[in-house]
Structure formats: structure tokens, C-alpha cells
Structure 1
Amino acid sequence: MNPFFTTRSGLRSALLAAVLALTATALAAPPAAARGDRVRLGSAGDVSRSAWSGPAFTMNGDGGVVAASMRRAIDTIRGGTGTIDVVVLAGSAASSGSTTPECDSVMRLAGVNSCTTWTLTTASDGNNAQVNQDIRNAEFVYFAGGDQCRYTAWKGTSLPASVKSVVAKGGGSGGGSAGTHINSSIVYDACRGSITSDEALDDPYDSYATFTTGMFSWPHYADTINDSHFVARDRMGRLMSFAARAVKDGRTTQGRAWGVGVDEGGGSLFLDAQGKATLYGADAYIVLADHQPEKAVAGQPLTYKGFKIWHLTPGATFDFAQRPTCGYYLRSVIDGRADAGLYDGTPSAC
């Protein structure tokens, strides 16, 4: 989630603090130069192999690497033999501790030849030749947590095509928190700031509800909107609003939008080449908006009757290639007020 903005309720105090901080430092230091920092762990040379066995994807509820799903992605891509190279993309430096926390975790797993962390601070860094070479030579690209708006700024650069080339050769992509958002086909980019469920339901066209499309659409994962920290931060309402708006605005291919919310605390959705997802660590929810909303108008509360919701627990699977037509429970939003029991319902029989 974007750390440089806040929800509307906290915007005034955040702006005041920012102004004071800028005033105090403006004369003390020159502006920092934009640059890309590269740190490589493991072997200095890349693996060379004619074929890989993916693609494979991991989408985590918070920023950290989830060992179980990452291990499965590594084993899937390498086909059980040899090793792979991993690239981690971050939009800002780690706030504390190690400068390479994701690679530290990845290098503890079997089957990894190297892990390279790139910290990119401007949109133009997406055209950095060394960055793109490292990505194309890798077999898995992991987007770190932080700020998905920084990631969507790379849309017009060479970087998205480089990531797509990794998937196309049988590698994979994934991420956590902001890195989970960027791996859906419709990205809540948070470029204006983070929006709460209450705000999104009160106005699905709130100025904080901004989206980016056209970066990635992974096999069997079209028409999806990812969200993270899901239950912990009560984001069901906003994912409902996002899905309803995606249908209203014609952002989907078949008039249906699939919200995918993964909780923090080790939650990770692993997606294989056949479109079958397996959940690790913590709960997840699939939210389907499959018809036009009864009311989705700028400045007015949302009304949408009959969201279909699948509640997944660790070990559960969900087939994105053959998306199910049963096993869900129904919840509605009327004039911005959601039904009770959003996270717990009795599923329909299959």
C-alpha cells in the first residue's frame, strides 16, 4: 500500500507533518538523486537452460515471502531439478534491518542459484538496461511490498515486457502486499491514497479509487482485482466496490469482475500453469460481481445485490481456468451499507 498517502481522515495531519519536515530539511540537504540500487546474493552467474516447467505465481497477503508457496513455485519452475535465478523489484529501500529481506528469505530455499534485489526510485528506471537484462535472465520476478503506484508508473517502460518474457519462458511472477496488487489484471494503484471500505461503499467513484490496467494479465487470471491485508484491515467492502465499478466501467472481458482478497499473517495464493490456485497460511476470499450494479454513480452510495463470495481456508483450491458456479454465499450492499457477516457465510451446495 502507498506509504506516501493516507486515508482522507488522516490527510490533514499528514500534510501538516510533511510541510514541517520539508521546511526543516530544505536548506539542510540537496534533493536525493534518483537511482537504481542492485544487490545480488548467491552465484554471480545466471543459470542457462533451454526449457522451464512453469509458469507459477504467488500472491501474498503481506509483503514477506511465504516459504511454502515460494518453495512450490521454485520447484514447479525448475521441474524438480536444477536451480533458478530470482529478481526482486522494490520501489523503495527496506525501512529497517536488511536491505534485501525478500532475497534473504529466498536464498534459504533449495533450488535457488541467485537472488538479485533492484530498488528503483523513478518511473524511468523501468528502462534501465541492466534491470531489464537481469529480469529477462531470471526465472521468477517478485514485487516487494510498499507502493503499487510506483510499480504502475513502469507501465510505459520496458520493464513489463521483460517480466512477461519470464512468464512466457515458463518462469513466474509474484509479490506481497503492493506486489500482490500489481499481479492482477485490474490494479487498484492507490496513486491518490488508500481508501477504506466505508469510503469506497459510500462513493465507488471516490477520488481515491484509482486503477491501472494493461500491465499484466496472467494465464487464466483475467478480470481479477487483487487486494491484500484483507480481513485484518477490513477490506471486503472496498473490494466489492472495486468489482462493481469494474463491471460498470467495462474494464472486464465478459462483464464479470473477480476480486481476490488475501489476508496477512502468511496468506499466499499459489497459481499454477493450469489456473489452479492453492491457498497457504491464512484465509482468502474470492468476490464475484457478475452483473451491472443497481446503482454505481459518482458521489452516491453503491447499491449492488448479490455479490458471490467464496471463502478459502489454508489448503483450499480454486480453479481460475474453470471458474466455479457454486460453493459461494451471497452478500449485498444497499445504499452504501453492506450486509452483516461479510466474512462468514454458508456456501451454496455443489
Structure 2
Amino acid sequence: MTRAVDAVRGGSGTIDVVVLAASTASGSPTPECDVIIGLPNVNSCTTDVLTATQDASNAQVNTDVRNAEFVYFAGGNQCNYVHWKGTPLQASVQSVVNKGGGVGGGSAGHHVNSAIVYDACTASTDSATALANPYDRSITFTTGMFNWPNYADTINDSHFVTRDRMGRTMAFVARAIKDGLTTGGKAWGVGVEEGGSLFIDNNGLATLYGQDAYVVLGDHQPEQAASGKPLTYSNYKIWRISPGATYDFKNRPTCGYYTRSVTNGVADSNLYAGTPVC
């Protein structure tokens, strides 16, 4: 967040931050702002809690967002956030980036900032379920929420290694390609481990802080992705990004990856590490 503040302010002045949440956190009602307000060069931090879809049309909330230089989506349930699609709030958040500000989020807030959002509106899925049936009722997507520069055709995932979510991200990528949700027949899953932060600058260059992250590329149609059938997909290209390393989303790399496959719902072993093939 400190890196984001510095990038947005451009070396001078201070910025105002708005945290958007769909439920009140336990303990402090403003846990994100409690931290953010103590960072250098932050002038203010406001938490707006929206418990109903119609709150996204609230005039004060939209004024808060439009006056801010950074919008942070809190954790929780991303299904609440995708319900803001088509509301004044969606346009207000977009306006912050359009004027040179920034946007981000943690957990559910990370999910909602990808081009293709795993929305979890029917249920939350896990890797075993998704690989056994990539069309399980627990796997639903929202598109057209936000389309950030240099971040097209992405599907974010969170708590990545701790909750063993590589398998479900593989299924998400296959579904996105099979269902035509991407612009060029490719999809990039972006999984960030707990304690990790992926900062992406205006030129699309991502720098990782804290813990590992993974980029999972599917670049062809799945061999099998159908309702009620286990997934088969060969040769996902996986980049493991370590803290301090970068990944260029504007000029996406064609080397530095290792490969893993899924056959009849069973993924290769050792999904989270491998020797780069080039």
C-alpha cells in the first residue's frame, strides 16, 4: 500500500483513500483504514459499508469515491461486489483510475479487480470440486465489472497456496477459454498467497511483496471441459513469482514458466514449484 500511495501521489502531496466493504468487520469497524491512515502521505481514509445493492447509488458514497485517489475493496464476499455492476458506484470507481488514481483489494477485493471475476454467488468451490467438474454449480463468473489497463483476460484468486487453490484456478482458466470469456482464446489466472501483495504500475509491470504469487496461463482449448465430466487440460504454463520479482502484464512473457497438466480431473503432482522450461 505504501508503494501504491507513492505511485499515485507522484512524489508530492498526499492522497485520500476510500475503503469499500459489504459487511462490518468484527472488532474494529474500520480495520483497513486503521492501518492505512498511519502510512506516510495519506491525508484521509474513509470506510463506506454498503450492505444492500441500492447503497451503490448513495450520493455520499459516490462523492467519497470520486474525491479519493485510491479505492480499496475489503475482504468478505465478492458476490456482494459484483452486484454493484451497472450502478453509479462502478462508474465512480472507474473514474478514480481514469484520473490517475489507483484501486486494489484483499481476498474478495482481489477477486473483483480481475477482468473475469469468480463471483462465488452460488457457493464457494475448492480444487477437488472444480477439477472433477469445471461446470459445477459453485463455479460462476461475472465479466464487465472492471477492465483495468494491461490486465485483460485475467482471473484473480486469493489465499492461494494455504487453501490449495491451484486446481480451481486451472479449472477457472479452462472455463474462461471454453466459454469464450476472453478476447484471444487465452486466459491468465493470478493467484496470490496470504501475506502477498502484487503491485501493478501504470505500465503493467507487477512487483510482488511478502509471499509468492502465481500466474497460470491457458493458451489453447481444453481437451475436455464439459458439465458433469472431469477436466482434462494439457500444459498449463505457470510462472512462480517470488517476493521482489516482477511480471509484465503489458508485454506478457513467453519464457520462465514450468508446465503442469490435468488429466481426467487429476492434476500433476508438485503444482506450486517447477523448473522453468525456457
- Residues 73-103 of structure 1, C-alpha deviations (whole Å, 9 max, x = no match): 00111011100000000010012x2110100
* Poorly superposed stretches of 4+, deviation over 3 Å: none
Q: Give the counterpart of 2:139 among 209, 216, 221.
A: 209
Matches of 1:150 and 1:261, distance apart in 2: 21
Distance, in Å, in 1 between the alignment partners of 2:250 and 2:90 is 23
Partner of 1:134: 64
Matched with 1:116 is 46
| Alpha-carbon distance in structure 2 between the residues aligned to 1:313 and 1:192 | 33
Could you tell me how far 1:230 is from its partner in structure 2?
A: 0.2
| Cα distance per residue 1:242-294 (max 9 Å; x no partner) | 00010000000111000000000x20000000000000000000000000000
Partner of 1:275: 204
Give, in whole Å, the separation in 1 of the partners of 2:45 and 2:130.
Answer: 38
Alignment correspondent of 2:125? 195
Whole-Å separation in 1 of the counterparts to 2:47 and 2:180: 37
Secondary structure of the structure 2 residue equivalent to 1:125: helix
1:167 counterpart SS class = helix
User: Which ranges in structure 1 are unaligned for 5 or more consecutive residues?
Assistant: 1-69
Question: How far off is 1:312 after superposition?
Answer: 0.6
Q: Which of the numbers 282, 285, 295 marks the counterpart of 2:224?
A: 295
* TM-score, normalization by structure 2: 0.99
Alignment identity in percent?
A: 69
Task: Give the alignment of 1:82-93 within 5 angstroms.
Answer: 82-93=13-24
Q: 1:238 aligns with which of 165, 168, 190?
A: 168
Question: What is the rounded CA distance, in whole Å, between the counterparts of 2:135 and 2:123 in structure 1?
Answer: 14
Once the 2 structures are TM-superposed, how far is the Cα of residue 217 of structure 1 from its aligned partner?
1.0
Specify the alignment match of 1:310 in structure 2: 239
Structure 2: state its 5+ residue gaps: none
Q: 2:188 and 2:257 mapped to 1: Cα distance?
A: 13
SS at match of 1:200: helix
**Letter of the structure 2 residue corresponding to residue 143 of structure 1:** F
Quote how far apart the aligned CAs of 1:316 are: 0.7
CA RMSD of the aligned region, Å?
0.5
Q: 2-side partners of 1:79 and 1:326: how far apart?
A: 32
Letter matched to residue 155 of structure 1: K
Give the match's secondary structure for 2:33: helix
| Alpha-carbon offset, residue 180 of structure 1 | 0.1
1:342 aligns with 2:250: no
2:149 corresponds, among 214, 219, 243, to 219
The 3-state SS of whatever aligns with 2:121 is coil
Structure 1 length-normalised TM: 0.79
Quote how far apart the aligned CAs of 1:193 are. Answer: 1.3
Distance 1:195 1:77 in 2: 35
**Match for residue 286 of structure 1 among 194, 215, 224:** 215
**1:249 counterpart residue number:** 179
Specify the alignment match of 2:2 in structure 1: 71
CA distance in 2, matches of 1:156, 1:216: 11
